[in-house]
Each structure stands twice: as structure tokens, then as C-alpha cells.
Amino acid sequence: MTQLRVRNPATAGKVLGIGALLVAACVLSLAVGTKDISLSTVVDALTSFDPENTDHLIVAERRIPRTLAGLLVGAALGLAGALIQGVTRNPLADPGIFGVNAGAALFVVIGIAVFGVTSLTGYVWFGFAGAAAASAVVYAIGSLGRGGASPLKLALTGAALTAALSSLQSAVLLTDPATHDRFRFWQVGTLAGRDMTIVWQALPFLAVGIVGALLLGKVLNGLSLGDDVARSFGRNTTTDRVLCGVAVVVLAGAATALAGPITFLGLAVPHVARMVAGPDYRRILPLSMLIAPILLLLADVLGRIVARPGEVQAGVVTALLGAPVLVLLVRRRKLARL
């Protein structure tokens, strides 16, 4: 498996800082909410759980599953973004642009409207199937003609498919108010309401996707040099792209099904990872896996604070914060060459 080896002391310090931030984000996710819970009570709930203690129940039944979901979804979206940017050599690529989120959303709508799905466990399967179908269509159409699956053709195909799938989704929702009412709570992207049942449901897919993605650093390094150079080193670029595409489908599909469409993580996080570790994807991938959950958990915590006693969904907060952060990254330095 990919190992995150850092010989530069400055880079090593940054990696340790990222690890500390991840731990802090998890602690905040467990302690902060509609009702703040002291750190000592959180520790007691983790080490000596008392089912008669209301605070312990809040930590165990609501915040632990929510935090685990944030870790898994963040890691998956960070890795999916790094993979899709590497395989397409497009620094502005993410699963949303390439139709993955739109495919998952449309299939969830179909599941609600046609099959009467109402539970999050049901959304997982439909969302995963939709992401896989959309990705397969994008790659198949983008591979037609001369040059095969070029970055430009894939991006254009993904944008066109996203528009088409979003239109179909809107058509179903507009003609079925009941489906719209159920779907809108999933559509905004949130970690709220996720219990251990749904986490366990998505965990096998996410675990396989995460492990597979971490093994693809060398493959992405080859693809980043261009197809001709990669082939000169004996790489089968078609096989490499298929492997990366499968990993993206598994990661983005399962994450979207678990938490709904959450934007900007897959787009912005790989650029932050490149600033820390340089252009080597064997380092970018594990760093993206660590950085994205930090941002998602902090966005979730912020959403709980700003609208007490209610909350703002994490997907809304990441969109509000992600756009200016990405603009700042672009202004401060040129997008890293892939």
C-alpha cells in the first residue's frame, strides 16, 4: 500500500500538523452541537458508557456515527477528486463535473419515485448504481473517435451528461411532489441523521475504494506524463484509466449515497495536498485522504453552531466556504501541473 514518506523536515511538520488537525476536528465533532458536551464527558462516553446518561447517549448514538460518516465521506471524496484530476489531467475536475453525483442523484430519485425507497440504506444501493452507470456512459462516449478518452472529451461529455441527468431529475421531481419532499433532505448533502446502520452499509464499498485508490499513485504518476510517455514505460493506459475510473465510481458513488452530494471537497483538496507534498501522487493521495475529512467535519461543526437550535447542512457550508477558498488558491499560485 502507498506509504506517505516525507524526508523534508518542513513537509514532515506539515503532515504532523494535518494529523493533529484531523484529531481536533474529530473531537469537535463529538463535543459541539445543539448541546455542547464537555471533553471529559466525551471521554467518559467512549471509555465507560452509561446508557442512563443523556450526554453519553448523544455521543454514542448520534455523534460517533456522524463523525465516522464524516471521516469516511471526506476520505472518499478527497481521494476521488485526486484520482479524477490525475486520470484526466484536468486540475478543475471533480466527481460532480464528470456526472458521478448527477447519476447518483437521478437513481436515488428513481428509487424514491418508482420503488418507494425511504431509508438511507436504500439510497446507498441506488446512489452507487447511478454513479457507476453515469461514469460508464461518460467514459464510453468520451472514448469514441480519434484519440480515445482525452481529458477534453471526458470533461465535455461529463458536463453534457450532468446537464441531461439533472434535467431528468427535475422532471421527475416536478411531477411528483411527494418524491420531491423526501429527496430534498438528501439532496443538500449532510451528515445529520446517519446512524451506524448506514455507516456499516457503506463501509465495505468505501474500504475497498480507499485501499484501491491508495495503490494507484504510481499509475497516476505515469498518466500525468502523458499517454505516449506512459506507454514508453510499458503502461497500458486504457487499463490504467479503467482502474482509476472504477475506484472513482466506488468512492464517489458510495460517499454520495451515504451523505448526499457534497461539493468542492474533491475539487479543492488535491490542490492543497500538492502544495504540501508536490506532484507525486503517491503522496497526494494519502494527504487528500487526510485533509478532506478535516474540512468536512469542520464544515459540519460550523453548520451546527451558526443556526442553533437548528443547523445548516454540511453540503451547504462546504459550498459556501469552498468557492472562495478555491479562488484564493488560484490567485495565490498557479494550478499545479499534473
Q: What is the CATH number of the domain that holds 46?
A: 1.10.3470.10
Do 32 and 297 form a contact (C-beta atoms < 8 A)?
Answer: no
Residue 4 lies in a domain: no
pLDDT at 332 > cutoff 80: no
pLDDT at residue 335, as a whole number = 46
Query: Using alpha carbons only, what angle is made at residue 310 by residues 206 and 296, rounded to the nearest 5 degrees?
Result: 30
Residue 66 lies in a domain: yes
**Averaged over 285-305, what is the pLDDT?**
94
Over the stretch 173-200, which tens digit does the pLDDT of each residue have?
888 888 887 777 667 788 888 888 888 8
Q: What residues make up the domain containing 188? A: 9-309
Residue 331 lies in a domain: no
Over the stretch 258-269, which tens digit does the pLDDT of each residue have?
888 888 888 889
**Averaged over 327-333, what is the pLDDT?**
63
Of 79-88, 308-317, 327-336, the range with the highest mean pLDDT is 79-88
Residue 315 lies in a domain: no
SS (H, E, C) the chain: CCCCCCCCHHHHHHHHHHHHHHHHHHHHHHHCCCCCCCHHHHHHHHHCCCCCCHHHHHHHHHHHHHHHHHHHHHHHHHHHHHHHHHHHCCCCCCCCCCCHHHHHHHHHHHHHHHHCCCCHHHHHHHHHHHHHHHHHHHHHHHCCCCCCCCHHHHHHHHHHHHHHHHHHHHHHHHHCHHHHHHHHHHHCCCCCCCCHHHHHHHHHHHHHHHHHHHCCHHHHHHHHCCHHHHHHCCCCHHHHHHHHHHHHHHHHHHHHHHHCCCCCHHHHHHHHHHHHHCCCHHHHHHHHHHHHHHHHHHHHHHHHHHCCCCCCCHHHHHHHHHHHHHHHHHHHCCCCCC
pLDDT at 333 > cutoff 70: no
The amino acid at 244: C
pLDDT at 247 > cutoff 50: yes
Residue 168 lies in a domain: yes
**Average pLDDT over all residues of the chain:** 85
Length of the chain: 338
Do 224 and 234 form a contact (C-beta atoms < 8 A)?
Answer: no
Q: Is 147 exposed, middle or buried (0-12, 13-18, 19+ CB in 10 A)?
A: exposed
Q: What is the pTM of this model?
A: 0.87
Residue 327 lies in a domain: no
Residue 317 lies in a domain: no
Number of independent structural domains in the chain:
1
Residue 336 pLDDT level (bands cut at 50, 70, 90): very low
d(CA 322, CA 309): 24
Sign of the torsion angle spanned by Cα atoms 152, 88, 103, 299: negative
Over the stretch 211-221, which tens digit does the pLDDT of each residue have?
999 999 999 99
Residue 156 lies in a domain: yes
Query: What residue has cell string 490542490?
Result: 271
Phi, psi of 311 (to 5 degrees): -160, 160
